[in-house]
Structure 1
Amino acid sequence: MMTLTTFKHLLAAGVLAATFAPAMADAPVEHPVIKRPYKLAPSADLVYSIKAKQRGIGLSGESVSNWRVGDGKYSLLAETKAALFGKILEQRSEGTVDDFGLAPSQFVEKRFRKEAATTTFKRDSKTIVFSEGDDSYPLKGGEQDRNSTVWQLVSVARATPEKFTPGSEWSFFVAGRHDAEPWTFKVVKDDKVATGLGEVAAIHLVKAPPPDKKGQQVDLWLAPSLEWYPVKVTFADEDGDYVEQTLQKIVKK
């Protein structure tokens, strides 16, 4: 899953002068082991339209997620393209499927005009390491990368839909480009979402920034009638800037 800071920075490259620096990472923290029932979503290509606003300037693009699962393995390739720039972001996650669900082995993120960053989940030494930093984290089971997290959430929802009720919370330990941190999604309500496939019923979840930190809020809508695929994602900053990603097409594989 890309961040608003990343998307705005990428779309603005060469056009806007603003820079968006990520917050300084905290020291590595311990994280709990959480094992939940899961049911993987069927392989598919999902096409999303993207629109954004930064300092009053409208931006647009398209994102395609290629999700594949089978033979005890999975892969997820997400590519984002912007008008005028072409491909500005590529995120690839691949790994196996174990007792916890998705078990990433490697996460690679390639940003516009930047070298690729690689996060490796070393199952033999039970550590998570980064090409962009010296931090490492223990690998206990259930950890995800920035790209696989939503699909692990989808898998859990498909296995236990009756538990995705307003107020329920779902936490994951998520590795990014150079560090890792807990992500918690909270179910808000049942909702309706306008998509390229028509209006669909969806479960609305929110990932808010930690109370002691400034950051973006992420809203996510999963559609039970469409295999629980993500049908909409929004990233919103306190200053009113946002990115909105809406499903336009599903191609089953």
Structure 2
Amino acid sequence: MLRNTYRNFLALCLCCVTAAAQPVPQPLPEQPLPEHPVKRYATDLAPSADLLYRIKAQQSGFSLSGNAKVAWRAQDREYSISTQTEAAILGRILEADSSGEIDTFGLAPLQSTEKRFRKPRTTTHFNRQDKTIRFTESELSYPLQGGEQDRTSAIWQLVAVARAAPNKFKAGSQWRFFVAGQRDAQAWSFKVIGKEAIDTPLGTLQAMHVLKAPPPDSKEQQLDIWLAPTRDWYPVRLRFSEADNDSIEQTLERIDRIN
């Protein structure tokens, strides 16, 4: 039973640090392309840092744990994000990376990769020359129109938007991006819920709660994010919730700033 529980924990964790929604079915050839918002928000990128997170999961009535490290770098018109996630007993279960340029839209990914436990690495390419998004895991492609993100960069683009317009980043406001996953892409909408006090290993922090809710009647994950203005708007907590009430939560426990 414990083995099955850890196997389920692995399945729940695979996309936890990359802000990933569960993969959606690929559209049929005759269906129109998904809504593709093009939004040019003002951005102010967070300072480069290594962020260490503590992970807790509720899976089939069991509480399980793990940890994650996110290396965020932004310098000289380039950025990179590297994430490593480990679970108790299983060891490393996910590596996710995003790298690219910094342009007038903010983060402009060139490539994102994911390496899951016992699975081959997958890559999503943002080809700036022919202006297309392509995938190693599917034949789909999408036009690059500006502002598109991958699942790893989307949260850091949201952080940059919040830092640039803190007075507009208030309860009820919504911020939309077009986000590419491993095999397809879709519009994501982040809604600001409001300011909340959350307990972390860094102390009690006032943080802005942001929600990415799944579409009605969808079985996709719900993503809740808490960004702390007093901590450079870094994500200090993220929670991924399933339709069956299983969940995984990651809470920031240390920030190592990079000079």
TM over 0.5: yes
1:161 match: secondary structure: coil
1:37 and 2:42 aligned: yes
State the shift of 1:51 in Å: 0.5
- Any residues of structure 2 matched to 1:138-157 within 5 Å, and which? 138-157=143-162
- Any residues of structure 2 matched to 1:164-243 within 5 Å, and which? 164-243=169-248
1:83: which partner in 2? 88
The count of residues paired between Structure 1 and Structure 2 equals: 241
Amino acid at match of 2:27: D
Distance, in Å, in 1 between the alignment partners of 2:11 and 2:173 is 34
CA distances 1:178-199 after superposition (whole Å, capped 9, x unpaired): 0001111101111011111101
CA distances 1:186-243 after superposition (whole Å, capped 9, x unpaired): 0111101111110110000111001252322111000000000000000111211000
Q: Percent identity?
A: 52
TM-score, with structure 1 as normaliser: 0.91
1:134: which partner in 2? 139
Name the CA shift for 1:189/1:11 in 2 (closer, same or farther; >3 Å). closer
CA distances 1:68-117 after superposition (whole Å, capped 9, x unpaired): 01011000001100111111100000000001000000000000000000
State the shift of 1:33 in Å: 1.4
Equivalent pair of 1:102/1:152 in contact (CA under 8 Å): yes
1:25: which partner in 2? 26
Distance, in Å, in 2 between the alignment partners of 1:156 and 1:7 is 35
- Any residues of structure 2 matched to 1:48-67 within 5 Å, and which? 48-67=53-72
Distance, in Å, in 2 between the alignment partners of 1:26 and 1:122 is 22
Distance, in Å, in 2 between the alignment partners of 1:218 and 1:240 is 13
Name the CA shift for 1:7/1:231 in 2 (closer, same or farther; >3 Å). farther
Distance, in Å, in 2 between the alignment partners of 1:136 and 1:30 is 14
Amino acid at match of 1:228: W
Distance, in Å, in 1 between the alignment partners of 2:186 and 2:250 is 23
2:114 match: secondary structure: strand
Name the CA shift for 1:12/1:180 in 2 (closer, same or farther; >3 Å). closer
Equivalent pair of 1:11/1:88 in contact (CA under 8 Å): no
Name the CA shift for 1:180/1:242 in 2 (closer, same or farther; >3 Å). same
Amino acid at match of 1:84: I
1:155 match: secondary structure: helix
Moved more, 48-57 or 130-139: 48-57
Structure 1 unmatched runs, 5+ = 1-5, 14-20
Amino acid at match of 1:63: A
Equivalent pair of 2:37/2:187 in contact (CA under 8 Å): no
1:159 and 2:160 aligned: no
TM-score, with structure 2 as normaliser: 0.89
Distance, in Å, in 1 between the alignment partners of 2:9 and 2:24 is 15
Moved more, 76-85 or 21-30: 21-30
Structure 2 unmatched runs, 5+ = 1-6, 15-21
State the shift of 1:65 in Å: 0.3
